[in-house]
Amino acid sequence: MAFRMSLSGPARTFLTAFSAAVGRLDKSLSPFDTIARLRAHTFVPSDAIYVFHLVLAVFWLTIMQVPSFPSKLLIPILFGVALFIPFTSQFFFPAIPVFAWLLTFYTNRFIPADYRPSVHVVLLPTLETVLYGANISDILTRFTHPILDLLAWLPYGVIHYTFPIVLAIFLWLFRPPLALKTWAKTFGYMNLTGVCVQILIPCAAPWYELIYGLTPATYGIAGSPGGLVRIDALFSGDGYQRAFGSSPLVFGAFPSLHAAWATLGALFVSHFWKGAGRMAWIYVSVLYWSTMYLTHHYLIDVVGGACLATTFFYLFMPDELRGAGGWGSSEYGGARSKYERYDLESRRPGGFMGLDDFASDTGESVDLSDEVEEENIVYRSPNPSTSGSAPHSLMHSSPKKPSMQNGSGSGRMHRHTASIASLIRPDERSEGWSPISNKGFAFPPVTR
């Protein structure tokens, strides 16, 4: 009994959703299943994007120097095996854009300097002064404090790297499979585009201006952790100095992918869990400030990253997930939520959402006895005295849902019933029980 009670609430919801999500996975390990699906697949013009990925991967693997040949051939071999095994393919195949971004980000360091464009040192601070009237990032770095350092470090150096993974887990558990695939595709292509812009238009970050001034930059200059060096000093380490010192993309200030990650994540959270959107945007606001406070980006970089994320969010969000709460029109019962479909009062706002709120309205086959089924819409006659004249179709509708054995059923009942006029068919509106008849509106109903 004590163990059951310990799993009640959010823990029980999470474990039940996890069990259901694992049950939906393809457990097959036979590559022949994947081959059979390929033979049955009807190819469309949009599948040409995988030709682009193949060409891009061959290009980067050709110029890759570490690991060297033939060790680097293990990368495409292992990835091909992962794609042909159904169990791993369901994870690796939707993440192809993410792997394309990672390969591009890592391997661009091997592009010969003769083929690289010149680094822009003056461009970003000049544009920032022209557009905003001052160098905003420089103003934000004039006063530093250990408390501000920690406040900037948490979103920039910690949450930034875990937020996309946590969001992907919640999408996998509590939203339809298409939501997670959309997140992987949008996140991957957004980062791939951002890195390509950074390679083609290399720009120096504010830390370069603080260290070297406006002198021309060369690709031989090592990266700098900027304000994160104070975090290394605070914790008596050199992790950030080593990480940024060996960065494969030193002059990738514009657009800010830190800002793009946070913005895209907040847009997904706001779309699929409206109640948690406020917390997500608070995190985004703090991260915007931290990118400039730590001398890693100008304000124009932050704006560019936010615009990039917003563009890809609306560009890649499929029609099936554009409805209220992210529900589609075919598979999940229309673009409207259940509150809109049945003319019910929507959930009251306020408070931080728990796991029960994340699990609600999913349309998934999660076995939550007090959450999955819709509460009955109780028939109510406009004229109590004629309640016995209800249409036969309504009187013999689905039986009333029994109350929960634990006594919690009464607390789950709707506060309002649906509009009966919106639930009945047009040909039934001529019955005597309804105030709306073929001859017009009459209330109380005319007794025949």
CB contact set of 445 (below 8 Å; sequence gap of 6+): 382, 383, 386, 432, 433, 434, 435, 437
Q: What percent of the chain has pLDDT over 90?
A: 63
Which residue, among 91, 48, 59, has the nearest Cα to 196 in the 3D structure? 59
pLDDT digits (tens, 9 = 90+) for 272-319: 998 899 999 999 999 999 999 999 999 999 999 999 999 999 999 999
The token duo for 167 is 């969001």
353 class by beta-carbon count within 10 Å (0-12 exposed, 13-18 middle, 19+ buried) = middle
Q: How much is the pLDDT for 346?
A: 52
Rounded mean pLDDT, 422-430: 44
Q: Is the pLDDT of residue 425 over 80?
A: no
Alpha carbon distance 190, 188 (integer Å): 5
Alpha carbon distance 370, 205 (integer Å): 53
pTM of the predicted model, to two decimals?
0.73
CB contact set of 48 (below 8 Å; sequence gap of 6+): none
Q: Is the pLDDT of residue 399 over 50?
A: no
- The structural architecture, per CATH, of the domain 117-320 is Up-down Bundle (1.20)
pLDDT category of residue 7 using cuts at 50, 70 and 90: low
Contact between residue 256 and residue 158 where contact means Cβ atoms under 8 Å apart = no
| Domain boundaries, given as residue ranges, for the chain | 25-93, 117-320
Q: Is the pLDDT of residue 411 over 60?
A: no
Contact between residue 86 and residue 29 where contact means Cβ atoms under 8 Å apart = yes
pLDDT digits (tens, 9 = 90+) for 223-263: 999 999 999 999 999 999 999 999 999 999 999 999 999 99
Q: How much is the pLDDT for 428?
A: 44
Q: How much is the pLDDT for 137?
A: 87
Alpha carbon distance 365, 62 (integer Å): 46
Rounded mean pLDDT, 41-66: 94
Q: How much is the pLDDT for 92?
A: 95
The token duo for 61 is 């693997």
Q: How much is the pLDDT for 10?
A: 81
Alpha carbon distance 377, 151 (integer Å): 49
The token duo for 320 is 């099936």
